[in-house]
Homo-oligomer: A and B are copies of this chain.
């Protein structure tokens, strides 16, 4: 078989000409409702056979144009490089395929320009709905969707212009911190030396996680101090040096360590490896990664409940729910404790 780059594709017109029928008949037959339109079985068989012989494949873009629906569903997310976003993408694809649509997932590397450009491309492609995940400010994208009359939903980070499905950061952090406190006290240490590491103050997720962390401390009778929280951003280098600074300042490890994201965790491990410091303290992490889960010390990991989140997100695409614009909280799952 030789490559036939550039050859023209078979259309229903070609099929119609070949069987000497009208395009309408061909269309009806190929779409399966020839009996409803009283087309003879023999005719329909001839058409089907010829279509197969000519290698006819429907042009979904022409169909989409006629029907004014594209068969495409879009999702925007920052990247695929951690399990949360990878799972989001795969779960989205699965759900979209189940609805007989074709998924378009595009990563934007957290670049606002790219986010805007990608969104407008997807809307110009007339996606039937758009999932917006991990975008710092979804408002602008929500507005674009609104103008294009395309239903959309915010995932992971909430926005006011559409329904939002978000992990219950506060409840999750509360839960893990309680576990950590139990463990700290079980080993005879003090919950006064706990540390929250990572994230960016002022960010939705970080603020809620901190709130949960502090609440658990208060519930345990600990009075939170400002040096119990170190928002050092997401880059491993930053958490590495922030953690080092903490240890040097206090002359010891914290008794319990709450790590706010997987990349923050990376930095902590890097510190531990490079300084040959065993992480001899209770550790919890708001994120999950198979490698991190196999590290030589126990980590209480919170895995975001991607499946539930996506199911809820798909359900929020109906008109009424589009208008409601709720923030729907999904509790994360404690993976290991």
Which residues of chain B are within 8 angstroms of A3 by Cβ–Cβ distance? 146, 149, 319, 322-323
Spot the interface stretch: A76-84, A193-201, A217-225: A76-84
**Contacts A5-B319, A65-B61, A147-B55 given; does A102 touch B125 at CB 8 Å:** yes
Q: How far is the CB of A230 from chain B (nearest CB, A)?
A: 20
Q: Is A315 an interface residue (CB 8 A)?
A: no
The reply to whether the CB of A121 lies closer than 8 angstroms to some CB of chain B is: yes
Question: Does B266 contact A290, Cβ atoms closer than 8 Å?
Answer: yes
**Are A93 and B120 within 8 A (Cβ)?**
no
Question: Could you tell me the distance between the alpha carbons of A6 and B150 in the complex, rounded to whole angstroms?
Answer: 8
- Copies of the chain in the assembly: 2
Report the Cα distance A6→B1, complex, angstroms.
46
Expressed in whole angstroms, the Cα–Cα distance for A272 and B291 within the complex equals 12
Alpha-carbon distance between A270 and B293 when the two chains are bound, in angstroms: 9
The interface bits of chain A over 1-30 (1 if a CB of B lies within 8 angstroms of the residue's CB, else 0) are 111111111000000000000000000000
Given contacts A81-B86, A151-B5, contact A236 B322 (CB under 8 A): no
Query: Residue A295 at the B interface, CB < 8 A?
Result: yes
> Which residues of A from 130 to 150 have beta carbons under 8 Å from B?
143, 146-149
- Contact call A149/B6, Cβ cutoff below 8 A: yes
A231 CA to B70 CA in the complex, in Å?
45
Give A151's nearest chain B residue, CB to CB: B5
Chain A, 82-141, CB within 8 A of any chain B CB: 83, 85-87, 89-90, 93, 97, 102-107, 109, 114, 117-118, 120-126
Q: How far is the CB of A152 from chain B (nearest CB, A)?
A: 10
- Provide a sorted-by-A list of 17 A–B residue pairs whose CB atoms are within 8 angstroms: A1-B143, A2-B323, A3-B146, A4-B147, A9-B148, A60-B125, A60-B126, A61-B61, A61-B126, A79-B86, A80-B86, A81-B86, A90-B107, A102-B121, A102-B125, A272-B296, A291-B295
